[in-house]
Amino acid sequence: MQVLSKAKGEEKDKLKKEYEAHIKRKEGSNISKEDDKKRANIDKTFVSANFDLQKVLQISVSDAGPVYYSRKLCVYNLTVYEAAPPNKAFCFTWNECNGKRGSNEIGSCILEWFKTSSDIVKEVSLFSDTCGGQDRNQFVAALFLFIVQTTHVEVTEHVFMEKGHSEMGVDSMHSAIEYAQRDIFIYCLSQWLTVFALARPNHNRNKNKEKNL
């Protein structure tokens, strides 16, 4: 808005229209997310979920000086959060030795999540941010086409949240994981899986899955 206030004439009108379109897209994606959440609460054949890659985790995590300054092993964690109660939450985790954090890895994790769905599910809506290298690309789109051709799911919808306004349920998962880890030292991948379970102690811990890609 600071740039808009300094603009003049046609440039100001153009920026104003772009800003209004931005707000309209933000409101539209949020309305769509809430509508799908309400539908998922009453329709057992419909599932709505959101997914996102957490910030890069590391091994080792310690307060020891030499460990802090040493080379770390990067760990990636894709989280999926289902909108309808009991709000099933999934963590698909791998390290940089097993794969990167591109569309192939993200697609493989999403496919594994689809395999957990009940046979009665016929329609799925997924929400994510607009990261082109991970979510918004031809490979993930091809995955959804593959799913409707080979599984019991007949319809898939992928909705992208507006850039800068991608607040989703998975954000609370990431915050809970970081809070659970605050006093725990990490020296191997299995300890991260334990942290994931500690972040949600009242739910089935088998929902945390290690995905070797």
Angle ∠(89,124,112) on CA atoms, nearest 5: 50
Contacts of 56 (CB under 8 A, 6+ apart): 74, 75, 76, 101
DSSP labels, 143-202: HHHHHHHHSS--EEEEEEPPTT----HHHHHHHHHHHHHTT--B-SHHHHHHHHHHTSTT
113-135: burial string, b at 16+ Cβ within 10 Å, e else: bbeebeeebbbbbbbbbebeebb
Among residues 193, 172, 168, 204, the alpha carbon closest in space to that of 75 is found at: 193
CATH no. for residue 162? 3.30.420.10
Domain that holds residue 198: 2-210
Side chain identity, residue 51: F
Q: Which residues contact 78 (CB under 8 A, 6 or more apart)?
A: 51, 52, 53, 54, 91, 92, 93, 105, 106, 109, 110, 211
Q: Mind listing the pLDDT tens digit of every residue in the chain (213 residues)? A: 545 555 666 777 777 787 778 788 888 888 889 999 999 999 999 999 999 999 999 998 887 777 766 778 999 999 999 999 999 999 999 999 999 999 999 999 999 999 999 999 999 999 999 898 899 999 999 999 999 999 999 999 999 998 878 789 899 999 999 999 998 999 999 999 999 999 987 654 444 444 444
The pLDDT of residue 208 is 47
Distance CA 187, CA 133 (A): 29
Number of domains in the chain: 1
The tokens describing 15, both together, are 């920026």
Query: Residue 158's CB: how many other CB atoms inside 10 A?
Result: 17
Predicted local confidence at residue 39, as pLDDT: 96
Residues 156 and 125: their CA atoms lie apart, in Å, by 6
Structure tokens at 141: 């789109």
**What is the model's pLDDT at position 171?**
93
Distance CA 170, CA 180 (A): 15
